[in-house]
Structure 1
Amino acid sequence: MASINTFTIVGNVTKDVELRYTPSGTPAVTFTVAVDNVYYDRDGKKHEETDFIPVTTYGKQAENDAKFLKKGSMVAVMGRIRSWYKADERKGGFNFEAENVQYLSRAGNGGRQGGEAGPQKAQGAEGHDDWMRDYDRAEQSGNPGRRR
């Protein structure tokens, strides 16, 4: 049976992107995309949440991302999810490795393009690039994920 491992997200970059290099010299960037979610519970009550998704790109894509992505930029990101685990620290998580990043708007454009209304920047996005810290806190409080 064939397996599929892909993701697609659309949201806003939470802070300016900085280029770094892997030990082998490959360009890399990691940035966080704030993705707003709206859902209704059984009673019809509206709930709004924001997920903060860490994304990594490499090579030429990373160089372009460092050049063009700024805090507030709206992007569409497609790629694959990779898991990791550090046994000595009893920590694990997921890396969202982008294979394609589309720049939908520039920062300062309010997340709008072509006169159409777009999602607003997520509030409280600052500081969420250390997403693992937030996940650890949620896990310790007994709520590592959303339960509907």
Structure 2
Amino acid sequence: MASINTFTIVGNVTKDVELRYTPSGTPSVTFTVAVDNVYFDRDGKKHEETDFIPVTTYGKQAENDAKFLKKGSTVAVMGRIRSWYKQAERKGGFNFEAERVQYLGRPSGNRAGGDAGQQQQGPGNAEHDDWMRDYDSTEQAGQGRR
């Protein structure tokens, strides 16, 4: 049976990227990409949602991401999805591991003019921060695959 496991997203980085190292010394970063979804319901009413997708990179790619990605940076990310489950905690999730990251522009906070207000503000950020803290603690507890 043939299988395909791939994802492609384009969005904006929600926070400055921080370089870390796995226990074996491999450089690693996890950053979150905000991806907007706009759709219209049957009545023609416009709906807007934002998904916050955690992306992990390793090695030289991680070093470059830490150097070049800042809050507001627009990126295209392609990679594969890995699932994990901790039976003792009855907890699981997905890791989005990038195989390719393409930098598409400058962080919106660096532009001249008033675009800084378009950075991820509004509903969802408190939830996102709580979720990322939980995700980071799980990653640091040994969920990293490398």
Shift of 1:86: 1.1
Deviation string 1:15-39 (CA, Å, 9 cap, x unpaired) is 0001000011100000000000001
**What pairs with 1:102-113 in structure 2 (closer than 5 Å)?**
102-107=102-107, 108-109=109-110
Partner of 2:120: 122
**Counterpart-to-counterpart distance in 1, 2:121 and 2:57:** 25
Q: Which amino acid in structure 2 is aligned with residue 95 of structure 1? A: N
Please list the CA deviations of residues 91-111 of structure 1 after superposition, one character each: whole Å capped at 9, or x if unmatched.
11100000000000121355x
Return the letter of the residue paired with 2:121: Q
Q: Give distance in 2, aligned partners of 1:90 and 1:47.
A: 33
Partner SS state of residue 12, structure 1 = strand
**Residue 133 and residue 40 in structure 1: after superposition, are their counterparts in 2 closer, same or farther (change >3 A)?**
farther
Structure 1 segments unaligned to the other structure (5+ residues): 111-119, 136-148
Per mean C-alpha deviation after superposition, the further-off stretch among 122-131 and 31-40 is 122-131
Displacement of 1:89 after TM fit? Answer: 1.2
| Superposed CA RMSD | 2.1
Judge conservation of contact 1:54–1:129 (CA < 8 Å) in 2.
no
C-alpha separation in 2, matches of 1:129 and 1:5: 27
Answering whether residue 43 of structure 2 is matched by residue 30 of structure 1, we say no
Higher helix share: 2
- What is the match of residue 41 of structure 1? 41
**Partner Cα separation in structure 1 for residue 47 and residue 100 of structure 2:** 30
How many pairs does the alignment contain? 126
1:1-148 equivalences in 2 (<5 Å): 1-107=1-107, 108-109=109-110, 120-124=118-122, 126=125, 128-131=128-131
Distance 1:7 1:18 in 2: 23
Give the TM-score normalised by the residue count of structure 1.
0.77
Q: Percent identity?
A: 89
CA contact (8 A) 1:32 1:129 kept: no
Residues 59-110 of structure 1: per-residue CA shift (max 9 Å, x gap):
0000000000000000000000000111111111100000000000121355
CA distance change for structure 1 residues 56 and 85 in 2, over 3 Å: closer, same or farther? same
Deviation at 1:123, TM superposition (A): 2.7
Q: Which runs of 4+ in 1 moved over 4 A?
A: 132-135
